């Protein structure tokens, strides 16, 4: 059972076989409007993305330029994402630096990072003491919290993504522990973190898995559990979502714990449980 983001191993993609990176000429760009990515007549993926602009906004560009017009299947999203970055920035350093800089500045209006920024800001406000983040994916929130002075453990099912985060963090001047693990069986001791986060994780998991994940969060947390989800009418398959949440679903999840909780709205829904351990 997959209980985290289904990101392919970033370290396994060193020489992409399906990506051509040279910039296109002005006429080709004009013919395609603002699209940064396309599929050529030979069926190969092409892009015009430079190292100075590669960031997590790539996710939105792939969704808009390739998934929405049906040029690639939603299931190819993650592999395409990793391959493009590997073709532009094999060390992934520019990708991380650019994304963190954009998050700090609020992101480009309408971009993927701009949607992440207020979510990360809210999470930072809720963090107390040491932190564990489940389903950290590339670890941008974990890195933000480490920069804020928290002791951070970032957990994700993808061993390659965790290894990448552990390798890149020191080059960014940041310290955290990156651990491979399943959100339904977190490899951390009881009460080992003050705050445990699952930020935009549960929408990636099948219905019924949310309660076991929340139980694990409560086991690991000394002081606080924080869950954040997007509100959607339908699961966004381009982003790997398999279920939806609304405020009522979050309230039912909170009630299932038998503990006091708070549900609030801020660029999606938030469930906060103070454990009083």
Judge if 124 and 222 occupy the same domain: yes
Residue 5 lies in a domain: no
> Which residue in the block uniquely carries the two structure tokens 């073709």?
87
Res. 21: pLDDT tops 60: no
Judge if 174 and 253 occupy the same domain: yes
Give the chain's domain count: 2
Q: Starting at the edge strand that comes first in sequence, how are the strands of the sheet with 19-20 ordered?
A: 19-20, 45-47, 37-39
* Domain final residue pick, 93, 117, 146: 93
CA–CA distance, 266 with 277 (Å, rounded to integer):
27
Residue 104 lies in a domain: no
Judge if 214 and 179 occupy the same domain: yes
5 in Cβ contact with 133 (< 8 Å): no
**pLDDT confidence bin for 26, thresholds 50/70/90:** very low
* Domain final residue pick, 61, 93, 125: 93
Domain enclosing residue 82, as ranges: 10-93
Residue 102 lies in a domain: no
Judge if 113 and 246 occupy the same domain: yes
As a whole number, mean pLDDT of residues 25-50 equals 71
More confident residue, 253 or 32: 253
Q: pLDDT, tens digit, for every residue of 118-146?
A: 999 999 999 999 999 999 999 999 999 99
Res. 236: pLDDT tops 90: no
What residue spans of 5-62 are helical by DSSP H? 26-31, 58-62
CATH of the domain at 213: 3.40.50.150
Residue 98 lies in a domain: no
DSSP secondary structure code for residue 10 in this structure: G
Judge if 172 and 257 occupy the same domain: yes
Judge if 55 and 132 occupy the same domain: no
Judge if 121 and 254 occupy the same domain: yes
Residue 19 lies in a domain: yes
* pLDDT at position 15: 34
* pLDDT at position 43: 85
Residue 154 lies in a domain: yes
Average pLDDT over the chain reads 88
Residue 2 lies in a domain: no
Res. 2: pLDDT tops 60: no
């Amino acid at each position: 059972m997959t209980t985290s983001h289904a990101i392919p191993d970033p370290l396994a993609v060193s020489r992409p076989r399906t990506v051509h990176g040279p910039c296109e000429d002005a006429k080709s760009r004009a013919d395609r409007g603002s699209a940064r990515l396309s599929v050529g007549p030979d069926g190969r993926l092409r892009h015009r993305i430079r190292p100075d602009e590669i960031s997590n906004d790539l996710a939105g560009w792939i969704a808009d330029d390739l998934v929405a017009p049906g040029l690639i299947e939603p299931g190819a999203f993650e592999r395409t994402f990793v391959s493009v970055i590997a073709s532009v920035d094999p060390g992934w350093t520019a990708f991380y630096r650019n994304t963190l800089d954009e998050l700090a500045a609020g992101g480009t209006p309408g971009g993927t990072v701009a949607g992440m920024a207020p979510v990360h800001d809210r999470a930072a406000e809720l963090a107390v003491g040491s932190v564990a983040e489940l389903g950290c994916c590339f670890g941008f929130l974990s890195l933000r919290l480490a920069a804020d002075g928290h002791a951070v453990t970032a957990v994700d099912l993808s061993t390659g993504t965790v290894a990448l985060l552990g390798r890149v963090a020191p080059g960014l001047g940041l310290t955290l522990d990156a651990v491979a693990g399943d959100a339904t069986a977190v490899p951390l001791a009881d009460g080992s973190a003050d705050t445990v986060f699952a930020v935009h994780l549960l929408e990636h998991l099948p219905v019924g898995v949310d309660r076991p994940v929340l139980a694990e969060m409560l086991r690991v947390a000394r002081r606080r559990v924080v869950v954040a989800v997007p509100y959607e009418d339908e699961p966004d398959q381009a982003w790997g979502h398999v279920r939806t949440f609304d405020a009522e679903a979050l309230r039912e999840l909170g009630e299932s714990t038998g503990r006091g909780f708070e549900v609030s709205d801020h660029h999606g829904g938030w469930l906060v449980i103070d454990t009083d351990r």
